[in-house]
Amino acid sequence: MQKNLKQVDWLDEPTRQAAVEKLGNMTNLIGYSTLSEHFPFELRGDALLADNMRIIMEYQFNRAIRQIGGPVNRNEWAMSSAEVDAYYHPTMNQIVFPAGILQTPFFAFERHPARNFGSIGFIIGHEITHGFDASGRYYANDGNLRNWWSNDTAQKFSQRADCLIKQYDSFAVTSDADQDKVLGHVNGNYTLSENIADNGGLKLSFSAYQTYITKQARELSQVREAETTELTSPMSQVERSLPAEVADRLFFISFAQTFCEKSSDTVMIQRLATDPHSPERWRINGVASNSRDFARVFSCPASSPMNPKTKCQLW
């Protein structure tokens, strides 16, 4: 992300420096809480559920009261480690990844890195980009709500965001049961921040994957020179011999598989009205169509649906 922030041509220098500073101050919580005090109360197996819930809620309430006026604890988890989710906390300037999402189908240590970077790598990039989306950009590096953008840069951001809004407004959502049945269209304005994070996340994760593969190639070369079989990579010989162009395609296939879903018409119509995320089809195809890397890897013809002349991208 730092590389992107330093390269985008529409940021002026003061805003660029502030953005890099915010990124540098971004922290993360990975896996599970390391705090020793979690459950300083006793729940009874023979008690009513309502009674045990009351004990838990009383503890949470009293704990919140004790924290009023105290320092912000950036090591405190607001999500269970078992949850299959991730989020960016704007007032903490923090990304959080519970253990629940750090496993298959999102991540597995022994599988080809293209699959990991295409799935969990994308999610990580998505959450980082939230710090610079349509709402996250209003929070400074310390998590306080403060405008750190120059007027000129803010205007350029809005122009590029408008490209995404119009693009996603044009995306029709059809029934899974009948592709000719149009249920509605994506609300480009309502889903803007998530779309910014999706597009930025894919670009970040593919760039990170290329950096990783380059590093692995150097390590393999050093291993061969030293005539040893020790490698830091878990990849098998078969995986290491996978052609680069095939591995690149595997990255994007893994990204797409992350959003496999099937919805009823009722659920999809409800989601169009309430969900700030675009429907999965457009989280895949909409993002991929904005990616020059995707078009190159799959040799998409110019001006085709997956390689349009106009591409919308902020980060």
Non-local (6+) Cβ contacts of 28 within 8 A are 94, 95, 96, 97
Beta bridge partners of 172: 185
Residue owning tokens 């009513």 = 48
Tally Cβ neighbours within 10 Å of residue 300. Answer: 18
Q: What is the rounded CA–CA span in Å between residue 107 and residue 146?
A: 36
> Which positions are catalytic?
127, 198
**Do 123 and 86 form a contact (C-beta atoms < 8 A)?**
yes
Nearest of 73, 84, 66, 89 to residue 33 by alpha carbon: 73
Sign of CA dihedral 108, 113, 119, 124: positive
DSSP tag of 132: G
Angle at 54 between CA 49 and CA 59, to 5 degrees: 130
